[in-house]
Structure 1
Amino acid sequence: MGKKVKKESEPPSKDVFDPLPIESKKAATVVLMLNSPEEEVLVKACEAIHKFAEKGDENRSSLLGLGAVEPLSHLISHEDKLVRRNAFMALGVMAANSDVKRLLKKLDAIPSIIGKLSPEEDVVVHEFATLCLASLSVDFSCKVQISDQEGLEPLIQLLSSPDPDVKKNSVETICNLVQDLPSRVAVRELNGVPPLLELLRSEFPVIQQLSLRTLVIVTTDTDTRATFREEQGFDRLLEFLCNKEFSDLHVEALQVLSNCLEDRDSLQLIHETGGLQRLLQFITTPTLLDIQTNAVKAIYRVAQSSENRKLLHEQDIERSLVELLSLEGDSLRTATCQAVAAMSLHLASKDAFRDLDGIRAVVQLLGSEGGEVREAAAQALSSLTSSNQLNAYAVYEAEGDEGLVQQLHDVIPGAVAHAAAVLTNMAEQEVLRCSILSHGAMAALLEPLKSADTHTLVRATQALAALACDAEGRADLRNAGGLVPLVQLLQSNHKEVRRNACWAISVCANDEPTAVEMCKLGALDLLQEINSSANRRNKFSEIALQRLLDSNLSLKYSLTNTLAPTDITMDGFYDPGKVWESLPFRWL
Structure 2
Amino acid sequence: MAFWRTLSKLCKELNDLHIEALSVIANCLEDTDTMVLIQQTGGLKMFLTFAENSTVPDIQKNAAKAITKAAYDAENRKLFHEQEVEKCLVTLLGSENDGTKIAASQAISAMCENSGSKDFFNNQGIPQLVQLLKSDNEEVREAAALALANLTTCSPANANAVAEADGIDPLIHTLSSKRDGAIANAATVLTNMAMQEPLRVSIQGHDIMHAIISPLCSANTVVQSKAALAVAATACDVEARTEFRNSGGLEPLVELLRSKNDEVRRHASWAIVVCASDELMAVELCRLGALDILEEVNLSVSRKNKFSEAAYNKLLNNNLSLKYSQTGYLSSSNIISDGFYDYGRIKRGAKFLSLKELCLQEPSDLHTVLLINSKFSDVSPPPSTEDKSSDVGYGRSISSSSSLRRASKEKANAGLVSPTEMLDLYLHAPTSGRNTVLSKSAAKEKGLRKGRGKKEEEKVKEEEEVMIVPKLVGEGSSDKEWCCPSDPDFCVYVSEVTKSILPIISIREQIEVLAKYVAEKMGGEISKEKLHDFSWQLHISELKFQLKSNVVPIGYIKKGTFYHRALLFKALADKIGVGSSLVRGEYGRAWNEVKLMNESRKGVIGGLPPPEVYIVDLMFHPGGLIKLKSREADLYRFL
- TM category (shorter chain) comes to 0.5 to 0.7
Task: Give 1:360's aligned residue.
Answer: 127
Which position in structure 2 is the counterpart of 1:310? 78
Residues 456-491 of structure 1 deviation map (CA, whole Å, 9 limit, x = unaligned): 111111111100111122112111111110001111
- Per-residue CA distance 1:283-309 (angstroms, 9 max, x = gap): 221321111111111111111122211
Q: Helix, strand or coil: the match of 1:261?
A: helix
Distance 1:481 1:499 in 2: 21
Q: Choose between structure 1 and 2 for higher RCO, CA contacts under 8 A separated by at least 6 residues.
A: 2
Code of the residue aligned with 1:343 in structure 2: it is M
> Which residue matches 1:409?
176
- The verdict on how the C-alpha distance between 1:527 and 1:585 changes in structure 2, with shifts beyond 3 A counting, is farther
Deviation at 1:234, TM superposition (A): 3.9
Report the Cα distance in structure 2 between the residues aligned to 1:248 and 1:387, rounded to whole angstroms: 43
Change in Cα spacing, 1:454 to 1:260, as seen in structure 2 (3 Å) is farther
- Amino acid of the structure 2 residue aligned with 1:248: D
Please tell me whether residue 240 in structure 1 is matched to residue 46 in structure 2.
Answer: no
Where do 1:288-367 residues align within 5 Å?
A: 288-355=56-123, 357-367=124-134
Match of 1:280 in 2: 48
Contact 2:49 2:88 in 1 (8 A): no
Aligned to 1:368, the other structure's residue is in SS state: coil
Aligned to 1:561: 328
1:327 to partner: Cα distance: 2.2
1:385 paired residue number = 152
CA displacement at 1:370 relative to structure 2: 1.1
Determine if the alignment matches structure 1 residue 518 to structure 2 residue 288.
no
The answer on whether the counterparts of 2:279 and 2:319 sit within 8 Å (CA) in structure 1 is yes
Task: For residues 513-563 of structure 1, give each alpha carbon's deviation from its aligned partner in whole angstroms, at most 9, with x where no partner exists.
Answer: 211111111101101111111111110000000110011112112222222
Find 1:251's aligned residue among 10, 13, 19.
Answer: 19
1:40-119, aligned counterparts within 5 Å? none
Q: Can you list the C-alpha shifts for 1:248-304, whole angstroms capped at 9, x where unaligned?
A: 121122112212322212211222232211210222213211111111111111111
2:241 aligns with: 474
Q: SS in structure 2 opposite 1:367?
A: coil
1:416 deviation in Å?
0.5
1:237 counterpart letter in structure 2: L
| Alpha-carbon shift at residue 362 of structure 1 (Å) | 0.9
* Match in the other structure for 1:496: 263
Aligned to 2:229: 462
Partners of 2:5 and 2:220 in 1: CA distance: 45
Asked whether the equivalents of residues 175 and 212 of structure 2 are also in contact (C-alpha less than 8 Å), the reply is yes
TM-score (norm 2): 0.54
TM-aligned CA deviation for residue 446 of structure 1: 1.3
Q: Shift of residue 236 of structure 1?
A: 4.3
Q: Please state whether the residue corresponding to 2:255 is helix, strand or coil.
A: helix
Distance in 1 between residues matched to 2:42 and 2:115, nearest whole Å: 26
Aligned sequence identity (%): 51
Asked if 1 retains the 8 angstrom alpha-carbon contact of 2:292 and 2:349, the reply is: no
Whether the 8 Å CA contact 1:343–1:349 is kept in 2: the answer is: yes
Partner of 1:447: 214
Task: Check conservation: 1:408, 1:416, Cα contact below 8 A.
Answer: yes
Counterparts in 2 of 1:279 and 1:584: CA distance versus 1, 3 Å: farther
CA distances 1:307-326 after superposition (whole Å, capped 9, x unpaired)? 21111111111122112222
The one-character-per-residue Cα deviations of 1:369-416 (angstroms, maximum 9, x if unpaired) are 111110011111111111111111111111100010000000011111
C-alpha separation in 2, matches of 1:586 and 1:463: 32
1:262 is the counterpart of 2:26: no
Mark the runs of 5 or more structure 2 residues left unpaired by the alignment: 358-639
Determine if the alignment matches structure 1 residue 437 to structure 2 residue 204. Answer: yes
**Partner Cα separation in structure 2 for residue 239 and residue 395 of structure 1:** 42
CA RMSD of aligned residues (A): 1.6
User: Does the Cα contact within 8 Å between 1:354 and 1:391 map onto a contact in 2?
Assistant: yes
Shift of 1:584: 4.4
Q: Does the CA-based 8 Å contact 2:18-2:59 persist in structure 1?
A: yes
Give the AA of the match of 2:287. K
C-alpha distance in 1 between matches for 2:184 and 2:351 = 35
Q: Does 470-479 or 502-511 show the bigger shift?
A: 470-479
Structure with bigger helix share is 1
Amino acid across the alignment from 1:449: L
The structure whose residues are more often strand, as a share, is: 2
Deviation readout 1:56-94 (Å, 9 max, x if unpaired): xxxxxxxxxxxxxxxxxxxxxxxxxxxxxxxxxxxxxxx
Distance in 1, Cα, partners of 2:340 & 2:281: 18
Greater shift, 564-573 or 451-460, is seen at 564-573
CA contact (8 A) 1:550 1:556 kept: yes
Q: Is the 1:525–1:584 Cα contact (8 Å) retained in structure 2?
A: no
- Matched to 1:319, the amino acid is K
| Displacement after TM superposition at 1:235 (Å) | 4.7
Conserved? CA contact 2:10–2:17, under 8 Å: no
Distance in 1 (CA, whole Å) between partners of 2:337 and 2:48 is 69
Instruction: Give the Cα separation in 1 of the matches to 2:344 and 2:58.
Output: 74
Inter-partner Cα distance in structure 1 for 2:345 and 2:224: 37
Are residue 571 (structure 1) and residue 341 (structure 2) matched?
no
CA distance in 1, matches of 2:86, 2:268: 37
Report if the CA contact (8 A) 2:57-2:100 is conserved.
Answer: yes
- Give the aligned partner of residue 540 of structure 1: 307
Which residue in the other structure is 2:459 paired with?
A: none
Moved over 6 A (4+): none
Quick one: which amino acid aligns to residue 528 of structure 1? E
Tell me, in whole angstroms, the C-alpha distance in 1 between the residues paired with 2:273 and 2:314.
6
Q: In structure 2, how many angstroms separate the alpha carbons of the residues matched to 1:256 and 1:454?
A: 37
Aligned length: 355
Q: Measure, in 2, the Cα distance between the counterparts of 1:254 and 1:584.
A: 68
**Radius of gyration: which is bigger?**
1
